[in-house]
Structure 1
Amino acid sequence: MISYEYPLNERIRTLLRLEDLFLKLAHFTANSGPQDHHIALLTLFETLEVASRADLKVDLVQELERQRQILVSFRNNPEISEEALAGALYEIEQASTGLLAMAGKIGQYLRENEWLMSIRSRAAIPGGVCEFDLPSYHYWLNHAPEVRRRDIEGWLSPMAPIRDGLGIVLRLLRASGHPENQLARAGAYQLTMAGRSAQMLRVRVPRSEPVVPEISANKYALNIRFLLPETVARPRVAERDVAFELTFCSL
């Protein structure tokens, strides 16, 4: 099955974007090639840009505290494992402590690094980070892989509480829903929300189905069209019934 997640508010949209960027950062940093570490650095700049758009730290702290209170209410419940509950509470408390310890604007230490900001500004120009544009960056890219990796991890580590906090929130959000089997007749599916509240939708489609969901939703209605994933022509609606799995997720 291929999962497609659709955020229904700006806060979840930001968290999903940051999650994707942190995953890419981890992937490219773990590799050893100069081009891998170049992409890791560009991804770090994207992460800085997205994380600066909202009062992210406050939102995460408040949501983690809300989830902590919910979990505390499950104590002494015979149907809940005390060991698992204690582990979840510890994880939330550790993430909250890390977030509260973050001082100032997210990523301000990166903005104060003139060398990194010179790379960031040149990277906005197509082909702008050639060796003749940034010889000091070319020198860095020719360092040993472990030196570059240590530098990237050092620049990333102050943002680790953001990564850990959003990871917990998104994990709880994904676990909150109950999947339902649905059928899009002639490639189209409509549902009246009728007071149903959700923060994110998950659509899962069998890998054998060569279709891509196009999702639009508001507080009144949900519409999904399954399109044929054309790479040359304009995408067309798959004019056949498509079975899929739909999950409404809400904290």
Structure 2
Amino acid sequence: MPSYDYPFNERIRTLLRLEDLFTKVLHNMAAGHEYHHHCALLSLFQILDVIDRAELKADLLQELDRQKIVMTSLLGNPSIAEKVLTDLIGEIENTSKALRQNTTKLGQTLRDNDWLMSIKQRAGIPGGVCEFDLPSYHYWLGLDEDRRRQDLDNWLQPLISIYDALRIILHILRGSGNTVELTAVNGVYQQMLGGSKPAQMLRLQVDDDVECFPEVSANKYAINIRFNSLDYAQKPRACDKNVNFTLTLCNL
């Protein structure tokens, strides 16, 4: 089922953006063609830009520590699989340790690489990484794929603890909340929100055969969802039929 995550605050928005970029880096690294490795490197540069604008490390460590306390308090609960819980606690501990051991600024080892930064600077110019602009980069792309993959892995390693941390946090976030089945009448759904603990993200899923997509406007007070149909020749148009979907309000 196609699913859509919508963050309610900048903190979760940053984690979702980083998750998307790390997923693209890892996917393109696994592929062998030079164009895939080029795309992996461009996504790696975008990761540097995102983490440069946020107090990410402190936020991740704070949330991991909080989740460890929560998970530890659940030990002995007969309704929760203890092995799954202990494995998760161990993963949180290992990831927190790896993050704390990295005492430099996140991504600083890459920023100190003058060759990579010269590519990053040119990559911001449309068509700026052609072979006549960066012959050294053109040479690198022509190397054996195993050599390129090893280089990419070396550049990614200082950042992998970030990915491990956000992966754990988003996994816990997505697993929270109750999922309800709803209907958007004529493609529109609205819901007022309340409660002492506001949601941090919503997850929306639709069946594979639904030929429309949701546009969400939401905050801690209300949710507005409007389903649109994709028109490749014009801008999206409103869906005028009832759409069944599932909704989960997530909170750490």
Q: Same fold (TM over 0.5)?
A: yes
1:250 partnered with 2:251: yes
Asked whether 1:111 is paired with 2:111, we answer yes
Give unmatched runs, 5+ long, in structure 1.
Answer: none
Counterpart position of 2:217: 216
Q: RMSD of the alignment, in Å? A: 1.1
Judge conservation of contact 2:8–2:220 (CA < 8 Å) in 1: no
Percent identity between matched residues is 51
Shift of 1:80: 2.8
1:142 and 2:139 equivalent? no
What are the Cα deviations for residues 131-161 of structure 1, in whole angstroms up to 9, with x where unaligned?
1111111111111100010000000001111
- Separation of aligned partners in 2, 1:242 and 1:77: 39
Take 1:186 and 1:85, find their aligned partners in 2: how far apart are those partners?
Answer: 43
Whole-angstrom distance in 2 between the partners of 1:75 and 1:219: 31
What SS does the corresponding residue of 2:225 show, helix, strand or coil?
strand
CA distance in structure 1 between the partners assigned to 2:236 and 2:86 by the alignment: 49
1:200 aligns with 2:208: no
- CA shift, 1:240, in A, is 1.2
State the TM-score, normalizing by the size of structure 1.
Answer: 0.97
1:62-77 equivalence runs, <5 A: 62-77=62-77
In structure 1, distance between residues paired with 2:45 and 2:68: 32
Q: Residue 222 of structure 1 aligns to which amino acid in structure 2?
A: I
How far the C-alpha of 1:78 sits from its partner, in A, is 2.8
Aligned residue for 1:219, secondary structure, equals coil
Q: Give distance in 1, aligned partners of 2:236 and 2:89.
A: 46
Q: 1:90 aligned to 2:96?
A: no
Please report the TM-score for the alignment, with normalisation by the length of structure 2: 0.97
| 1:43-58 → structure 2 map (5 Å cutoff) | 43-58=43-58
Which deviations, in whole Å up to 9, do the C-alpha atoms of 1:183-241 show, x marking residues without a partner?
Answer: 11111111111336101001111110111101001222110000011121121111111
- What is the rounded CA distance, in whole Å, between the counterparts of 1:79 and 1:148 in structure 2? 47
Query: What are structure 2's unaligned runs of at least 5 residues?
Result: none
Aligned-pair CA distance for 1:84: 2.1
CA distance in 2, matches of 1:179, 1:80: 19
Secondary structure at 1:223's aligned position in 2?
Answer: strand
